[in-house]
Structure 1
Amino acid sequence: MLETSMGKICLELYWDHAPKTCRNFSELARRGYYNGTMFHRIIADFMIQGGDPTGTGRGGASIYGDRFADEISEKLKHTGAGILSMANAGPNTNGSQFFITLAPTQHLDGKHTIFGRVAAGMKVQKSFRRIHISIPISSSGVKGTLGCVLCIQTILHVRHD
């Protein structure tokens, strides 16, 4: 469950297709790593990106160390809004950052590990389409009046099939 200043987004994780990635995301969330972080990159009709504790798009590490390998599945595609994928700087550079698509983004297929989808809260996710800027943060909190704070309170149900 992602709890944001705009509402809650429930995620379904694809443990069968990306077990290391799901474990990384779940464990970081369990540790409170994402609490108080932001969607630092928001591009209308493309995606929202979060998971960087620095808020710059350059930070974050995985539970496996600095980076870990991709888990690309040919069965999973960026076919529409609500796809949960790892953000990266190239092959095998996954850390803590992730994104949720706001539209089909097939040009990302084979380049980013898909590890889940929005199961509930699409209305909240779609509300991010109205935002066209990234919002800077400082050590004292959000600058400006528009807050998009991402606070993962807990993962309510983790299924390992």
Structure 2
Amino acid sequence: RAARKGGSAAAARAGRARARRRSTAVMSVTLHTNLGDLKLELHCEDTPRAALNFLALAASGTYDGTAFHRNMRGFMVQGGDPTGTGKGGASIWGGAFADEIVPQLRHHKRGVVSMANSGKDTNKSQFFITYAKAKHLDGQYTVFGHLIDGFDTLDAMEKAPVEGKKCKPVTPIVVRSVTIHANPFAAAAT
């Protein structure tokens, strides 16, 4: 019993330490779209490569002027492709980068932000935001953030009319610019 109790206390201390580290590694960004703002919190501690990639691309202006090219009501909206076709994109890593699958980070609600890919370890610049729970995506896509403000904008995006099999918005939904509110990677570099 004492060993169990001590183990529980040690586990609790370790959990508190992880929570403190996470609280110092909070990054948030706002995507300013033509339909309104989407404020995202990124999981820097759990998915550092995906979070750093997204932040660096945002800081360089890569996402500015890009359209969400795929909009599937009840499922998700996808963007981050500078070509606007769903076939383009690049990462800061000089090619595609590996998935960062974290079992605790799931597609369990509206507003989950994940890397879009074309198979295992093919992450670049494209990302998607869920409109609903999508458990079938768990373990296949890197969840690297979640929406913390702008659910009204997400609602407007979901209602936007689309055309064709690829569900392209009839009127483009465009990321005009990105504001970076907190950058833990920059603080770590100094």
- TM-superposed deviation, 1:156: 1.7
Which residue does the alignment assign to 2:165? none
* Equivalence for 2:104: 75
The answer to whether the 8 Å contact 2:68/2:172 transfers is no
1:104-123 mapped onto 2 (5 Å cutoff): 104-123=133-152
Counterpart of 2:110, as a letter, is A
Q: Distance in 1 between matches of 2:178 and 2:133?
A: 28
Deviation at 1:159, TM superposition (A): 3.5
> TM-score when scaled to structure 2?
0.77
| Count of residue pairs brought into register by the alignment | 152
Whole-angstrom distance in 2 between the partners of 1:154 and 1:10: 9
Matched, 1:18 2:47: yes
**1:152: which partner in 2?**
177
The gaps in structure 1 that reach 5 residues or longer are 136-143
Identity, % of aligned positions: 45
Q: Report if aligned partners of 1:43, 1:132 keep a CA contact under 8 Å in 2.
A: no
Q: CA deviation at 1:124?
A: 0.6
Structure with bigger helix share is 2
Structure possessing the higher relative contact order (Cα contacts under 8 Å, 6 or more residues apart)? 1
Considering only CA atoms, is the larger Rg found in Structure 1 or Structure 2?
2
Name structure 2 gaps, 5 residues minimum: 1-29, 163-167
Partner AA of 1:155 in structure 2: I
State yes or no: 1:29 paired with 2:54.
no
SS at match of 1:59: coil
4+ residue segments displaced more than 3 Å: none
Change (3 A) 1:16 1:10: same
Q: Deviations over 1:38-57 (max 9, x none)?
A: 00000001000000000000
Output the CA distance in 1 between the equivalents of 2:176 and 2:184. 21
SS at match of 1:8: strand
Shift of 1:147: 3.0
RMSD across aligned C-alpha pairs, in angstroms? 1.4
